[in-house]
């Protein structure tokens, strides 16, 4: 039984983090959490460190759930390359209570035509903007609702935390108007290092062990950002257009985000394989506060296969969320534009096909 419990702790790590929704829908990495039931830490009050690296390339544009295939065919697609390293330090006080602190390191590159010379300027007008730095730091307190020493087959853990605006949400780079002119301005929202808001996080992590080898897991995460806008211009160093001012998309929004996932684990020796499904996204409207400003709301539903190997004090893991459904939903500015013009409007967003996650969890 103890091995199956440790198995749950391994696989229920949020391998893909509460991470970017694989593209221009700017879900930010907020760190891993190890979801175990406390059986493996009942004799310890020490620390664990989880280091998770992730990478994706987004380039497929969607309006709603309809892919805009012509963007790739014409060479006007936006291409985001995102790499992140999340360091999650967790202090166990006993077999029920722990605290965790997450430190994300982020590196982004965004290639496009429309932000520089324009989509009709030819391939030579494609340029790249970058961003790099420490993202929004998050801390949380976790508590197992049932005594793990008595409830080895099933348990549910709650986590409550705060997300700080430590990441640079005004990161700037140069935008090229032509071969000789460039302008310094804030990079696109999807590659900003932070969102500029102080947020509240809620987590639920649960497991159920059917046998020594077979178990299931479930995780839920929600970040509430009460701040409406962060004051950063979306004009990329230029002047906001009349349409941006009229529909309220001239300043970046500070959106909520969510993620939930569930699946099955199978353990054989020191190896564990898992298969699950996950959904992550940004809502059009926030749970607390107003929802104006520019955002690309939407979600990704992914199949989530994974594999892990456990040594005495370390667990190595890999998983690959593969997008099955991508949906760019209507934002508040989209709704305002629809109401004012009488014509239904919905913006687009670029998504990735998959997300690569590789990491290690170590008992310190």
Three-state DSSP string of 112-168: ECCCCCCCCCCHHHCEEEEEEEECCCEEEEEEECCCCCCCCCEEEEEEEEEECCCCC
CATH of the domain at 337: 2.40.128.130
Q: Is the pLDDT of residue 63 over 80?
A: yes
CA–CA separation, 347 and 327 (whole Å): 11
- Segment 215-268, tens digit of pLDDT: 999 999 999 999 999 999 999 999 999 999 999 999 999 999 999 999 999 999
- pLDDT for position 176: 94
Residues in contact with 141: Cβ distance below 8 Å, sequence separation at least 6, in sequence order: 97, 98, 99, 159, 160, 161
Mean pLDDT over the full length of the chain: 89
Q: Look at the alpha carbons of 233, 235, 239, 241 in this order and tell me if their dihedral is positive or negative.
A: negative
Q: Is the pLDDT of residue 131 over 60?
A: yes
Q: What is the mean pLDDT of residues 181-203?
A: 97
Least confident of 40-44, 51-55, 118-122: 40-44
- pLDDT for position 180: 86
Could you tell me the two tokens for 162?
């705060």
CA–CA separation, 55 and 221 (whole Å): 21
Q: What is the mean pLDDT of residues 135-144?
A: 97
| pLDDT band of 300, cuts 50, 70, 90 | very high
- pLDDT for position 123: 87
DSSP state at residue 325: E
**Domain tally, the chain:** 1
Q: Is the pLDDT of residue 158 over 50?
A: yes
- pLDDT for position 134: 98
Q: Is the pLDDT of residue 25 over 50?
A: yes
Residues in contact with 148: Cβ distance below 8 Å, sequence separation at least 6, in sequence order: 37, 38, 39, 42, 95, 96, 155
| pLDDT band of 317, cuts 50, 70, 90 | very high
- pLDDT for position 150: 84
Q: Is the pLDDT of residue 26 over 70?
A: no
Q: Is the pLDDT of residue 34 over 60?
A: no
Q: Is the pLDDT of residue 9 over 50?
A: no
Minimal CA–CA distance to 351: which of 5, 19, 2, 21? 21
Backbone angles phi, psi at 35, to 5 degrees: -100, 90
Minimal CA–CA distance to 10: which of 354, 313, 323, 320? 313
Q: Is the pTM of this model over 0.85?
A: yes
Q: Helices then strands (H, E): number in the chain?
A: 4, 20
CA–CA separation, 146 and 155 (whole Å): 6
Minimal CA–CA distance to 96: which of 134, 55, 60, 146? 146
For a pLDDT cut of 90, what percent of the chain falls above it?
A: 81
Residues in contact with 145: Cβ distance below 8 Å, sequence separation at least 6, in sequence order: 155, 156, 157, 158
Q: Is the pLDDT of residue 30 over 90?
A: no
Q: What is the mean pLDDT of residues 81-108?
A: 96
Q: What is the mean pLDDT of residues 297-303?
A: 97
Q: What is the mean pLDDT of residues 196-200?
A: 98
- Segment 108-128, tens digit of pLDDT: 999 999 999 899 888 889 999
261 is in which domain, residue-wise? 2-363
- pLDDT for position 23: 63
């Amino acid at each position: 039984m103890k091995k199956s419990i440790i198995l749950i702790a391994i696989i229920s790590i949020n391998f893909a983090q509460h991470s970017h929704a694989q593209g221009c829908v700017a879900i930010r990495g907020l760190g891993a959490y190890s979801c175990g039931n406390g059986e493996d830490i009942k004799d310890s009050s020490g620390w664990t460190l989880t280091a998770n690296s992730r990478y994706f390339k987004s380039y497929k544009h969607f309006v709603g759930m309809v892919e805009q295939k012509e963007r790739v065919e014409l060479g006007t697609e936006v291409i985001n390359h995102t790499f992140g390293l999340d360091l999650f330090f967790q202090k166990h006080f006993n077999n029920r209570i722990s605290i965790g602190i997450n430190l994300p390191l982020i590196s982004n590159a965004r290639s496009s035509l429309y932000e520089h010379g324009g989509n009709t300027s030819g391939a030579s007008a494609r340029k790249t903007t970058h961003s790099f730095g420490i993202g929004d730091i998050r801390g949380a307190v976790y508590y197992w609702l049932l005594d793990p020493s008595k409830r080895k087959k099933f348990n549910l853990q709650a986590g409550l935390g705060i997300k700080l605006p430590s990441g640079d949400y005004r990161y700037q780079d140069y935008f090229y108007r032509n071969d000789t002119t460039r302008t310094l301005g804030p990079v696109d929202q999807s590659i900003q290092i932070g969102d500029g808001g102080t947020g509240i996080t809620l987590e639920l992590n649960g497991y159920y062990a059917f046998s020594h080898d077979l178990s299931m897991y479930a995780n839920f995460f929600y970040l509430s950002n009460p701040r409406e806008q962060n004051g950063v211009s979306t004009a990329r160093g230029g002047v906001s257009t009349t349409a941006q001012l009229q529909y309220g998309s001239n300043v970046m929004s500070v959106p909520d985000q969510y993620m939930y996932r569930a699946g099955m684990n199978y353990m054989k020796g020191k190896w564990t394989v898992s298969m699950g499904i996950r959904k992550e996204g940004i809502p059009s409207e926030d749970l607390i506060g107003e929802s104006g400003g520019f955002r690309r709301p939407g979600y990704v539903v992914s199949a989530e296969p994974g594999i892990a190997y456990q040594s005495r004090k370390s667990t190595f893991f890999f998983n690959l969320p593969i997008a099955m459904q991508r949906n760019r939903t209507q934002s508040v500015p989209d709704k305002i534009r629809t109401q004012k013009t009488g014509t239904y409007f919905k913006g687009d967003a670029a998504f990735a096909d998959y997300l690569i996650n590789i990491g290690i969890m170590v008992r310190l």
